[in-house]
Every structure is written in C-alpha cells, then in structure tokens.
Structure 1
Amino acid sequence: MTWLLGICTLWLLIVVVSAQKQLNVVPGPQMLNVVPSMNINQRSGLQTECVGNMMKLTVDKSLALGSQLEFDAVNGTQIEPLTPNMAAKCGFSIDSDPWGNTKVFASLLNCFAGNEDDAVFDINMRIRVLGIKGGQDVFEVQKTCNYNQWAPREIICDRNYMEVSVNRLPAEITAMRTQSKLGRGQVFDDQWVDTVPEAITSSYNIWRMVFFTPKQKAMVLEDALRTGYGVMTTKSRLVLRSAYDLPETYVENANGIPMKVIRVTTYFKKQWSVTMLDTIAACPTGGLVFTDELITWNFPWINPLIASAETNIIEMFMGIDGKRIDSAQMAARGYSLTIVDYQIVMKLPVGGPDGYYKSHAVNNQYHIRYAIEPMLELLWRDSGVDTTRYKVLFPIKTPLMPRPPRFVDNSDSQLKVFDVLLGVFLYDVELVNITFSGGVLTVAEATARGFIIQEQRFQNGSKAFRLQVPFSDPFVVKTRADLVVTVYTLGIIYGFMILPEHVPFSYSASVEVTLQDIILPTLNGGCDKENFHIQISFGNLGKNFNVMLGTQDLTPERSAEYGVSENATHMSFVVPFLASDVAFELMYPTSLRARLDVLVWEPVNGWSLGDFSIACNFPITMTECFSNGSMSALAVKVESLNQLSPRQLTLRDPSCKPKFSNERFAYFSFDANSCGTTRTFYDGVLMYQNEISLADVPAYQQPLKGVPTTPDPEYRVTVSCFYRLNDTKTVAFFTKPRENEPLPETGYGVLNVVLRLAMDGSYSQFYAQEDYPVIQYLRRPLYFEVSLLQSTDPQIELVLEDCWATLKDDRNSTPRWDLIVDGCVNLDDGYETVFHPVPSDWVQFPTHIKHFEIKMFAFMEQNVILKDQIFVHCDAVLCDINQTDGICRKRCPSSNPLKTNKVRRDTSDQLERTQLSSGRILLLSS
C-alpha cells in the first residue's frame, strides 16, 4: 500500500485517447445533430485572438445594433446553444459591456474544440442575431490557436467556471506498475478490489471520482457529468471543469481571503491496473479593497494550491480583458503588481481607461460604479520539480457610489426665461419626460410646446441636460409677493431611463425668480358741468382688481348705471356729481364742490393698487327768489358734518321743515313773510332773510343717562333775497363753516400741449415728425397750431405767451426773431403774425387751441442769408378762465379783434407753462 499511495500523488494518466481534430465531449441530451437552414454571413465587427490557453472573441456593438445575441458552439455538424449551464460546463464565458460590445472567452480545452496533439486547437462558433420581428442572422466564427507550452498543471479562473488540467501518467510508470503487480501475484489485485468496489468503466477509462467537500463523496463519471461538471481527457491531459455554485465546491479562507475550491481524485482502470490522479482548482472570490480613487486586489500567496513552502514564482504577469500588458503599459495607466507579506497585490486606479462606468438607480437615487476586468497570470514551481500555470480573469465592480446630480440655475430675469442645467450623468442615461405643474410631457412634446431641451456632452462622455422655459408659459406658477413683485416658480420632475436595462429614476427640482415687474393700474379723470369722467389703465395685470368708488365697490349694477366701458387695456365710466358715491366738500352761492374718491384694490390680499381723488365745482342753484314773494333754498350735507341728518334742519321757525329731505339734501320752499323770515329796507332795496339750522332734538329722542353723547354739529345757512322794483335776483348765499374746518385739497392731472405745422389754412392736415424738414418758399404762409390735448376742463384756456424763430434748434440760441411777445403779435415785424379764430363748432373746447400764421423768412447778415432754415419755438400758459389779472386777462394794444390775446408777462409761479418747438423748416429758393 505504501507504493500505491505514492502513485496517487502524481498528476498522471495511464489511458491515452487518440484524437486527431476529434471532438472530445460527452454528448448531452441537448446536442443537435442537424444544422438548421440559416443565412450564414461573414461580416466585419468580429475579432478573434489567441491569448495563451484561451481564445478571445470580441463582437462589436455595430453587429447587433441593439438586437439580442445568442451563441452556439459548433463541432462539425453538431451545434450546441451556449446556455449559462452549458457555457460553465464546457469552458465558455460571455459578457457584454454597456455599449453592447460582447466578449467571449473559450478555453482551448473546451468541450467542442478540435484538438491535434494538444498543440493545435480549432474553435468554431456561431453568433445568432435575433431580430425584433422574429428573424435572425447567423455569423460564423472559426479560429485556430497553437499552444504547446502546457505546464504539468494549468488552472483557469474565468467569470463563471474553474478549470484544471493535468498531465497523465507516462507509459514507463504503467509498465512499472505492471511488473510490480506480477511480482506480487494475485494477492494485490484482490486487495485492490476489496478496497475500491467495482464500477462501470467509462469510455475515458475513468472508473470513479471522489470529490472532497472537504468530506469525501464518490460518484461515477456519468453522475458527475449529469451534476454539471465537465470531465474529459485529451491525448496527454485530464481536464476537470466546475461552475462556482456546484454542490461539491466549497470555500476556504487563505490568509483572510475567500477562495472557491474544487478538489477531486479521479480513478482510472484499464484491465487489471488502476491509477489515481489528484486535481484541485482554487479561485479567489474576494480580497478587494476600495477607495474613491483606487482598487486594491490582494491575492493570497499561501493558498490551497501551494503544496510546499519552498514554492518559487517563475513568472508573474498582469493583464486586462485576458491579454497581458507589459511594465511600460502598466506604468502609463497607473497599474502596479507587487508581492507584499505573502500577498500578491494589484492596484488599479478608479476610472482608468481599460474599465468603464455604469449608471444605477437605488431607491430612486442616482449611483454609478466602475467596472474593470484585470487578469493575474502566474507560473510557479513546487519543490523545484513540478510547475503550475495559473490564470485568473477577475471582473471587478466598485461598490455603488452616490452621484446626486447638480442642479444649476442660470435663469435670466431680463429675458424672463428659466434656464436650468442638470448633470452630470453617464452616457447610458436618457431623459424620457418632464413633469410640470400642468402635466407630464415627453421630450418631443416639450420641444413642440416651445421649450428648449438640450443634451450637452462633455469630453469624457458624460452629459448634462439643459432646459429653458419662458416665464409666460402656463406651467409656470405666478405668485404675487407684494404690490409690485411677482414670484415665478417652475416645479420640475425629470424622468430618466438607464439603458439598456430600462431602469427608471427621477429627479425633482424647483426654481423660482422674484421680479419687480408689476405695472400698477393708473387712474386719471376730469369733470364737466354735471359729471366726473374717470379712466383706469390696467397696467400689466389685466382686469384682475376691484374698483371702489367712495366707500363701496363698483358692482355690476352700478357699472351699468355709470356706463362702464372697457377693452383689453383700459376702462372708463361717468359718475354724476349728485351720485351717492360722491362726497360734498363745500357749498358756494352758485356751485357745489364735490369729490370722487376712486380706489383700485386687489381682492385676494387686500392690497391697494392705486387711488385717485378728484374735486370739482359743479354749478347748482342753491337759492331762488320768485316774483310772487316766495323763496326756495337747498341745504346740503357736507363731508365735514358727517353726523348731520338733513331731515332735522329747519328754518328759523322750527315748524318750517324741509319739503323734501334725504341723507344728503334738504329742500325748503316758503313764503317771504313766513317761517321767521326777516325784512329789511335800505337804498330802495328790500331784503328778505332766513336761516337754516339744526333743530333741537326732542327730549324723547335724547340718549339715556350715562350713555356717551356726541355734540350736535353746528350748521348755519343764511338765505337772502333782494328785491329792487319789479326785478328779482339772487344776490347772496353763504355758509358759516365750523372753526378750523380744513379746506379740501385740489386734484391735479397731466395736461399735454403740442405745437404742430398745418399743411394749409384749413388746419385739417398736419406734418408728422417723419415729414421734417418741411420745405417752403420765401414769404409763403406757415400755419401753426398750439393745442391742449386730452383735457375736458372748460375752465382752462390756452394762452400763447411768447413765440420766436431761431437759426438753430436750440431755443436759446441767437440770432432770434420775436413773433409773439407777452401774448401779442410783434408790431415791429414787417410781416405781422396773424391769429386765426378757432370756430366754436369745430372742436368741443375752442379755448384749448390757438392758430397763428407767419410768413416764411430767412436770417440775413449784410444781405447774405446765413442759412436756409428756421426753427419756431413757443411758450404756452394754461389759464383759468375766471382769472382776472396778469397775462390771462390783459388785452393787446390793437383794435384788431383777432389780436385780443393777453398782454404783459406774468412771472407768477402759479402759471402752468409749456415749452414747445417745431422741427426744421427749409427755405426753398424760387
């Protein structure tokens, strides 16, 4: 038995299977014996290369164009689809990167390789490109690899399987065993049979296999194949292949690093001789250490494959994607491979050019990870005798790294456009849709709506997404912050898809811009003899406000009463001065001073957007004296006496109460010899006089004791009538105001005055600004009009104070020639300025317009024309027609009735002056 155990430690095989380019595989139940009818294509995009004891096939993404790829192993007419189980069992691995490029590694000792003397290997494959509509294209791959540098033991650790192949026993060992057996006689054979029970002998002469898990577990070859192990022999080698997850594999820690191990002893029996052959493969499944910048892979030098501490490393190589790289390439890419404390240490920078990044979504959060596939290849010698070649293809993926995208707000408040940038993302992220406040839009729909969506790519292949949305779009939420400030808010949910897995994730953001962009409503108005005329410009808010007149909102009913009209930008209405919304300020003998307060307010927040107050004197008959000796008087409740009740007013005789009264007026009608009216004679005039006052409140209407009281308002109105002969005339009306009673303020407005040049004396057509310069012959008439625009106040009169001509457009330049001086024509002018009357039926307010005519002339010096042009300038004054002094009332020293303008310059600061100038007027020589 001592001799027998020694033989068992050898990686040798007695039985030789002859194979000249013959498929060495145990047929499985899925083996196809007939090649189906397909389109066989030869096409670019396929690359094959021999890398040591493996063949590498690269399929470019352009070949599939997004279609699904499937692979078949081919040997002659036999075709086997490479399912995951079949690939691991027979020595194939398949992997694709995110671009769609596919790598296939095939062991030269795979189940389907043609093998000639373990030196020349033919590998045939087919690639099926499955179309969307069910069709498929098939591409054939054929590669011959020469490899004859087999070590006694070779181990491959690929992505999905472990493979170990060893030399079989040479012939002299078999002969030695035969002689020994004959010398010892039949006893040895009987002992062997008793030790190892009889089993069916396979075509490979493999009698049985014992797996160490690490406990022993025996099975025959057929059972091992059914379990999923790949077992085969070649001319000189035994091959064992196992997936990492088969039940007879186990994990063993080597210096703290886990390794997956398969350990098998294979028994060969031929006639009366039996040989045992030990095989073991161990592949690392850990040993990785990650930082943000560096990947460190530690491979344990002391591991289950090392039989002796005297093991020497003969060769050590690093590779990428199954291919060796030299030291210069390693240095250029930042790689290193060293031995430190019984560990082989490989270092690779994160983000190196041989790997790639991939996007992931974890709990709807964006992550990335870096992937690279380094290779470690070793050749060592145990006890100075046998050598082992060891190759590890070790795909590495870093842990998921959170990469929350950065949201950059580049919104332009001047252009009123939201401009946001979101990134950075990897190449495999696609923007699918965007959710706004108004709904979800695809990228195409958002672009059709007018949004700008751009994918911005960077040099390293990453990208960001730019979105531009105008403030005016309905999806933008607009909020009023205060009177003149608007907050524009854009809520966005980006919908992304990670390809090719079609994994969705989203990113929510909100951006807001605050702008002081509100143009508030403006109010203006005027009066005629009976009404207030009010106009409200909406600004840029539109009609999104309420109007209050006095103390009440303008209801639809009152809008109809006041004749409200409006368009997209303005509204206007007319309020009679006796309307309930009007406040009375003061009473005069023949007029009533009334005020209308207009407030524009925003109903949601209660903001006041604008207010306007206008007060005017309206003519009204307060007292009438009749020839029959009767009198009438009107008493008005003014604003300063807001507690007054007109119905309590009486004449001197308290029994003489109003004939009519309401909340604002009391109307009295009485005979001159009644109601306490007094009579006085002087200078042939008879004066009747009475007084309207507040009657004493009866005791039963007085408040209870202990209840605070408000003093009664003081109200006195004296009514007088003067009679001379048979002529009756109202001569006096006045009120007695309360002490320190404030006078109402005057409302102001904007009055526009313009100077225009008419085309002829009809004053029906005028030159526009673009018509200048105007050309005229010498001494031909020039017709000028000065007019007050927009005002409807009949109490205003436009007066031309001064007009003159200059050579230059500067109104203060010299030389200068006066045309009108202090409201009168220049009598020193040989060609006098002529005033033309404005017909009363031609315009509504003739006092607002002045027409005058001059003769075209030129400035000369020593009988030489200085320049063939003139400019005309005027100073205009706005006067009250009731004004009795200054330039507004003095007459010119002329008998011409058309020259009745005012004279003597008034320097009072209370006059409203306007400076006017014409455009350039050119002299045309005859």
Structure 2
Amino acid sequence: MAFRFCFSVALFMSVRTKCDHIPEGSVLMECRDRYFMIAVDGSCIGNEPHFEAVDGTGAYPITRQYAARCGYAVDVVALLGHLELRASYFSCHTGNTDDKVFTFNFNLILTYEGKEVHYALNKTCSPSLPWSPREVTCEVDYMEVSVRTDVVCPSTTNRDWDAALQTVHASAASDWQVVFQTVGQKLMPMNLSEAHRRGYVFDLTEGRLVFRTPYRQPDSFITVMNDVPVEMVHATLFSRQRWVVLMVDMVAACSMHEGSFDERRYMVWKAPEFVHPLVLNLHSTKINAGVNGELVEEGVAEERGYTVETTDNTIQIIILYTAEGWYRKSFVVGDLFEFYVFNLYLEQIAVDEDQVETRLRYYRTLTSPLVLCSVFTIRRTDLEERMFSVYLGGVPRDVELVAVSFNGHTFTLPLTSTSISMIPSIHPNTTHGYTLKVAFDDPVVLHEFHKDSVMMHKLDVYFILATVPENECFYHVTSLIALTNVSPPVFDAFCSESGISFTLDHRPFNYLWAFSIGSDPLTSDLAARHGYVMSNDSQSLQLHVPLFTPGYKYKNVTLKGFLGIFKILVQDKETLEIQTSTVKMCPFNTTTELIVCSTDGRMVVVADLSLGDPSPGIPTRTSLRNKRCRPKEADDTRVLFSFPLHTCGSIIKLGKHSVTYENKIFFSKNLHAATSSSGSDADSVTVQCSYPLRGLQRLFSLHRFESDADGVGCIVHSARANEGLCSTGSAASMRSPSRALAFG
C-alpha cells in the first residue's frame, strides 16, 4: 500500500517537472584562464544530450573519443541535472587569432519526446593570463602540451635526449616526424599523418606548438612517482634540413591518482610535486587549488574546506565533505544514500635553472562512494500537553517529505488536521528537517488500557520521503509510546427552568466506561421510555433530563421551591463497578402540586385545595386522618405535609406486585367549622405512595422500611373521585393537573 502511494507521488512529481525546452538562464558560458566552458543546469537536459563543434567546414559530433582527441571534455551528471563542456583554447574547430583571441561555435542538441532540438552557442574569448613557455593540461580524458616556439635549448641534456638525437641523425626525412620514447623499445620515427591516425594531434599556431593525446595510448606508459601512478607520453618532434636538425621535446605527464575516501568524511587526491621528468633543478614551485575552474589563494581554500599540503615531494589535496563547491546528490538503494562530486582544479607552477616556467593544470572529477545518509529522529513526549513531538532531521536539500503514515493511516502534505501539525526548518549545513506534533487524543493514536488506570498511547510513524527530481521514495520509521493515568469521564451539567442538561465530550478511551441511571444502562431506548432528550454524535454525548422524569430525587421541599437532583453513574465496562458519578442539584420553583415517596418511607405532599372545588378549602384548617398531623406550611390555597408512611392514620393496601400507603388530607370550607374526617362541611384529598414488593425485603425481614427504589405517588381530589383513583404503582392514571413524582 505504501509503495503504491509512493509511486503515485513520484508520477505526480515527474509530470510536474516535465519540460520541452531549456529554461531561460540555465545555460552558462564563461571564458576561463585556459579553456572555454558551457554549463547547463536544470532538469530539462532531456535524453542523451550532446554537442557538435561547428566551423566553416561543417558540424562535428563530439563523441567521447573525438573529445579526447580534439581537446574537449564533456561531463554529463544526469542525477545532478548537470551538463558541462570544457574546450581547450587549442581545441579542434576553434578560431585562433595570434593566440590571443579564440572563437568557439557549438550546437547543443537535446531530445524531447523523440524530437531533437538544436541550440546554437557561440562565444569569443581572450585568455586573462599570458601563456607560459611550457604548459601542460591534464583533463579528465586527455593530456595537452603547448610550448612556445622560441624557447631556447636547455643548458643540460639527458640520455633520452641523446638517444632521440641519434635517431634523428639516422633519418633522412625533411618533413616533420615524431618518435615516441618508451622504456625498453626501439625509437621508430613516424610522420605526423601516421601519428594522427593513432589518435595524436600536433598543431602549430602563430607562436606555439601543441601536442594532445588521449589517455591509455599504445605509446604511453605508467610510472610510479612517490607512490603515485603517473601516465606519461614522451614525444620528440624533429625535422632535418640539410645540416640543421630541429628537435622539440613534448612530454605529457599527469597524475592518475583516483582519490581515496575516509570514513571521517573527507577525500584525498595526490600528485607528485615534480611530475615532469625533463624539468631539472627546479628553483621554486607554486600551487593553487580550487573548484569548478576557479583558483583561489591558500587561505581562501582552507576557509572553503580544502587544504593543500606538500610532504616528501608529494602534493596532497584534502577535501572535506562539507567543503564549498561540492555537487551533492541523494540516491535511493533500499535506503537513502548520498554521493559527492568535486570538480578539482589544480595549478602547479615550476621554474627550472634556465628560468623557463612550466605551468601544469589538473582538472579532475572526484566522486565519493555511496554514503548512508544520516536521517534521524528526536522523539519527545509532553505529558502535560498530552502531545507527541518528533523531529525528523538530517534530510538532504534534494529530498522532500511528501506524506506521513500514522499507525497505517496515510496523509499527504500539507496536513489539515487541527490536532496534527508539521513545521519545516532549514539548516545551514545543506539539510533541513520537520517537526511533527500529534495530540494523544487524535484518532490516529492507538490506546491500550492497563491495570491501575494506566493508559498506553502508541504511535508508529512512517515518514515517506522522495528524492527530487527522480521521485525515488524511501521511508524513515519511528515509534512513540506514552503512559498516562486515566480518569473516568465526567459530565458537564447545567440547570435550566425545564430540567437538567448533561454534556460529555468524547475521548478516545471513553469506550472503557459505561453510563447508567440508577441500575439501568443509559441507552437511547431508556431515554425514549423515560422522556429524556438524548443525542450522541462523534464529538459529544448530550442528555437533557426534563423535571419530574424518572431518576430525579428531590429535597428541601417548601411551598416556594425545592431542589432537584439527578445522578449519572460511571461504571467499569467489564466489571460494572462504579468508578465515579456526576451529580447535579438545581433549584426549582414549586408552582403546582407534587408528592414525594422516598426510599426511607416518608411522604411529602404539596396539595392545592383550590383544584378540588370552585369554593376552595381553608389550608390552615387541614389535617390527615390523624387530626394531630397538621400541615408544616400553608398559604392561600396550598398545604405542605411531611410524615412517615406508617403514621398519621395511613392505610396499607397490599397488591400482587406492590404495596400502597394511602392517607387523606381533610379540610373544611367553613372558617368556624371544626375539621372532621366526615361531614358535609369537610372535603378531602387522597394521597398515595406505591412501592414494588421486590424492593421491600427488609420491610418484612427486619420490620424496617427501606426500599430499593423510590415509590410512585398519586394525588386525587375528592371532587374528582368519580374519575377514579390512580392505579397502584402507576402515575400515568392521574386525571388531575397534579404530578405523581418519585423523591428521595
């Protein structure tokens, strides 16, 4: 699944970077000290890019073999999106005016969707430095030597020179010929045409003689100087005109050291200090190093991360991986690797005893092996903020974070969740990073409940990254675990005129608890039966409990008001053990009749005497069946009685499934008449409390009233007796405006 996702991201990015031309400003042409350079940077170099050299005779494709022969060097680093051409000032097809003005004409040919597109690139250059008497260039694929034609003969000679001179005298040729001196072989002269067929180039300009040869020619040989391999070609040009013999010694010698790499992340390249065997009695040398064709002073080079050391006649260049001028690229081979390309440019100047200066220049492309990228994560957990935090660092600049997977749930960037954030950061060491924050309560976090109310929060994070522009994906994985003490959920409760409202915001671990009203689980069916208003969505549980519905308990009842109490129990879902509860007590106004049937066997009644007859009774002259049981409060129409069920003349009625306690409130309509339980001037209000028998075991075993549940109350006015008393244990049969309530 992750691979398929990564493939789709790569496809999207590849389409995004597609182009059919070179963007403006991506082609750079520069005249350097000893060569002309064309650089094409970007992701639009297409497939198989190549150059053509153009002169008055036509266009000539610059293949690798042709480049080494004609003085061109072409570097194509597809992974870096980089194409470069370097052309010697003495290269083929280059216009030369007095060795001072050089004209270059090239075609850059790129292929887009099978079609070739040609770009004409032209430049005229003049070297910024004067030519030295002898100059040697060691390019990546060829060696080039140029000498001034007016150089005087050396004051001393060696055996190689004497051997060549004997061969020249033995030859009767008047045209220019060449002999290549190799160890242990006889010198065999050949004309320049034959040398050209073998891949050698000899050219005579206005003031210089040029010799160029590819590496690994049959006439070249490898010698070791100070433990450094050196490739050398020793050519002697000569022409015999009567008694005069003209001889020019052309020696090309270059270090072939490939560079060594250290685990401490630096590379070393070496060359002999005196690589030219014909330069004798050197008086002084000067070495300058740089990158990408730019030479800098020694102090500047050290500041940029590369140093030049000379030890035991060996030049050693030490380059840190953090040095300026690197080309760096990320590469995916299962994991993320990186490699570095360093275009070393080195100049060595030597002066012999005849004060003849030799200038030797190297252009070497050094490539490091694949190095495992040190992408890392730093994990932090903030228990107070209930937040996971992960820092993903060491991400190379050419790598982008494209998606993140949390416990198997994958999200592309940018993240839109309010409880997940991703903050990028950039560092000066060519890397960047990302800070990821995930709240414990986000749905992607897994939760496991353990004993002792401990919750384990777990988050497995897959960072999905892709290289740019190749779109090769790789993954960096980390896991986070946090332990927190878990408390049972608590409802928020609010009072209103109509009842009490409860709200519970959902948490990921609320599933560990169950909620109940008394012994009944709180479900949508229970809410419907009891008249509650309940809603439960993904965000919260909301419950409105209207006044006088089952579950309420009441206390401090007066004619002016009372307290309504409602409780929601929170239980362990497995053991059903009560963990906590939310109890809300709210004040309400007493606006009508009510009756309380408590679990401890007490009845509290508020009766409105005006409801029974148009001529109401006198509240202050009321009593129960027992005349000594008088009202605790009375106003113009209402009375309040509070008494134990088994007192004040109460009658007990035993049914099949319930027991009912009944009493009456007697009152008189005549102010001067005595209250009586019988008579024309007296009227009554019947009050009842019914309890289920299954909850009254202690009443019969211990002779003590104690009910498991509240009783159901009923008030019936005598004037409405023809409508029938309320049924035992049911408040629904009440015909009057009075309420049948259960109180505690």
Q: Following the alignment from structure 2 to structure 1, what is the Cα–Cα distance between the partners of residues 187 and 576?
A: 98
Aligned residue type for 2:459: L
**Could you tell me which residue of structure 1 aligns to residue 159 of structure 2?**
none
**Could you tell me which residue of structure 2 aligns to residue 490 of structure 1?**
459
| 1:138 Cα deviation after fit | 1.4
**Could you tell me which residue of structure 2 aligns to residue 391 of structure 1?**
361
**Could you tell me which residue of structure 1 aligns to residue 288 of structure 2?**
317
Q: Following the alignment from structure 2 to structure 1, what is the Cα–Cα distance between the partners of residues 508 and 29?
A: 75
Written as runs of structure 1 = structure 2, the 5 A alignment for 1:727-746 is none
Q: Following the alignment from structure 2 to structure 1, what is the Cα–Cα distance between the partners of residues 632 and 418?
A: 69
**Could you tell me which residue of structure 2 aligns to residue 735 of structure 1?**
none
Instruction: Find the partner of 1:409 among 359, 363, 379.
Output: 379
1:111 aligns with 2:92: yes
- Show CA shifts across 1:275-297 (max 9, x none): 55432222223376757476655
Aligned residues: 543
| 1:124 Cα deviation after fit | 2.0
Aligned residue type for 2:390: V
**Could you tell me which residue of structure 2 aligns to residue 354 of structure 1?**
325
| 1:154 Cα deviation after fit | 1.0
Instruction: Find the partner of 1:299 among 271, 283, 303.
Output: 271
**Could you tell me which residue of structure 2 aligns to residue 160 of structure 1?**
141
1:464 aligns with 2:433: yes
Aligned residue type for 2:55: N
Aligned residue type for 1:387: E
Instruction: Find the partner of 1:281 among 223, 241, 252.
Output: 252
Contact map agreement 1:229 1:240 (CA 8 A) in 2: yes
Relative to structure 1, the CA distance from residue 799 to residue 438 in structure 2 (aligned partners, 3 Å threshold; closer, same or farther) is same
Q: Following the alignment from structure 1 to structure 2, what is the Cα–Cα distance between the partners of residues 752 and 171?
A: 114
Query: What SS does structure 2 have at the residue aligned with 1:110?
Result: coil
| 1:255 Cα deviation after fit | 1.2
**Could you tell me which residue of structure 2 aligns to residue 579 of structure 1?**
none
**Could you tell me which residue of structure 1 aligns to residue 56 of structure 2?**
76
Query: What SS does structure 2 have at the residue aligned with 1:154?
Result: strand
Instruction: Find the partner of 1:610 among 576, 599, 612.
Output: 576
- Show CA shifts across 1:424-465 (max 9, x none): 1211123455566548x5836987999755543334441124
Structure 1 residue runs without a partner (length 5+): 1-38, 174-188, 523-536, 546-565, 571-599, 603-607, 614-747, 764-784, 801-822, 852-878, 889-896, 898-914, 917-926
**Could you tell me which residue of structure 1 aligns to residue 475 of structure 2?**
506
Query: What SS does structure 1 have at the residue aligned with 2:66?
Result: helix
Q: Which has the higher contact order (CA 8 A, sep 6+)?
A: 2
Q: Following the alignment from structure 2 to structure 1, what is the Cα–Cα distance between the partners of residues 419 and 66?
A: 55
Relative to structure 1, the CA distance from residue 132 to residue 171 in structure 2 (aligned partners, 3 Å threshold; closer, same or farther) is same
Instruction: Find the partner of 2:639 among 834, 858, 868.
Output: 834
Query: What SS does structure 2 have at the residue aligned with 1:89?
Result: helix
Contact map agreement 1:369 1:401 (CA 8 A) in 2: yes
| TM-score where L is the length of structure 1 | 0.47
RMSD (Å) for aligned C-alpha atoms: 5.7
**Could you tell me which residue of structure 2 aligns to residue 373 of structure 1?**
343
Instruction: Find the partner of 2:132 among 135, 151, 160.
Output: 151
Contact map agreement 1:281 1:305 (CA 8 A) in 2: no
**Could you tell me which residue of structure 2 aligns to residue 426 of structure 1?**
396
1:756 aligns with 2:588: yes
Aligned residue type for 1:301: E
1:255 aligns with 2:226: yes
Structure 2 residue runs without a partner (length 5+): 1-19, 155-164, 492-505, 515-533, 542-570, 606-628, 644-651, 653-657, 666-694, 708-717, 719-742
Aligned residue type for 2:588: R
| 1:122 Cα deviation after fit | 1.3
Q: Following the alignment from structure 2 to structure 1, what is the Cα–Cα distance between the partners of residues 704 and 513?
A: 48
| 1:322 Cα deviation after fit | 1.7
- Show CA shifts across 1:697-756 (max 9, x none): xxxxxxxxxxxxxxxxxxxxxxxxxxxxxxxxxxxxxxxxxxxxxxxxxxx999987541
Contact map agreement 1:357 1:426 (CA 8 A) in 2: no
Relative to structure 1, the CA distance from residue 401 to residue 196 in structure 2 (aligned partners, 3 Å threshold; closer, same or farther) is same
Written as runs of structure 1 = structure 2, the 5 A alignment for 1:875-894 is none
Contact map agreement 1:364 1:506 (CA 8 A) in 2: no
Contact map agreement 1:417 1:471 (CA 8 A) in 2: yes
**Could you tell me which residue of structure 1 aligns to residue 38 of structure 2?**
57
**Could you tell me which residue of structure 2 aligns to residue 924 of structure 1?**
none
| 1:208 Cα deviation after fit | 5.1
Query: What SS does structure 2 have at the residue aligned with 1:373?
Result: strand
Q: Following the alignment from structure 1 to structure 2, what is the Cα–Cα distance between the partners of residues 87 and 206?
A: 25
Aligned residue type for 2:374: P
| 1:323 Cα deviation after fit | 2.4
Contact map agreement 1:40 1:140 (CA 8 A) in 2: no
Instruction: Find the partner of 1:234 among 194, 205, 209.
Output: 205
Relative to structure 1, the CA distance from residue 233 to residue 482 in structure 2 (aligned partners, 3 Å threshold; closer, same or farther) is farther
Q: Following the alignment from structure 1 to structure 2, what is the Cα–Cα distance between the partners of residues 513 and 217?
A: 83
| TM-score where L is the length of structure 2 | 0.57
Q: Following the alignment from structure 1 to structure 2, what is the Cα–Cα distance between the partners of residues 194 and 146?
A: 39
Q: Following the alignment from structure 1 to structure 2, what is the Cα–Cα distance between the partners of residues 222 and 390?
A: 28
**Could you tell me which residue of structure 2 aligns to residue 766 of structure 1?**
none
| 1:56 Cα deviation after fit | 3.0
Contact map agreement 2:307 2:318 (CA 8 A) in 1: yes
Contact map agreement 1:826 1:833 (CA 8 A) in 2: no
Relative to structure 1, the CA distance from residue 511 to residue 86 in structure 2 (aligned partners, 3 Å threshold; closer, same or farther) is farther
Relative to structure 1, the CA distance from residue 450 to residue 443 in structure 2 (aligned partners, 3 Å threshold; closer, same or farther) is farther
Q: Following the alignment from structure 2 to structure 1, what is the Cα–Cα distance between the partners of residues 253 and 595?
A: 109
Indicate the percent of aligned positions where both proteins have the same amino acid: 21
**Could you tell me which residue of structure 2 aligns to residue 743 of structure 1?**
none
Contact map agreement 1:431 1:443 (CA 8 A) in 2: no
Query: What SS does structure 2 have at the residue aligned with 1:85?
Result: helix
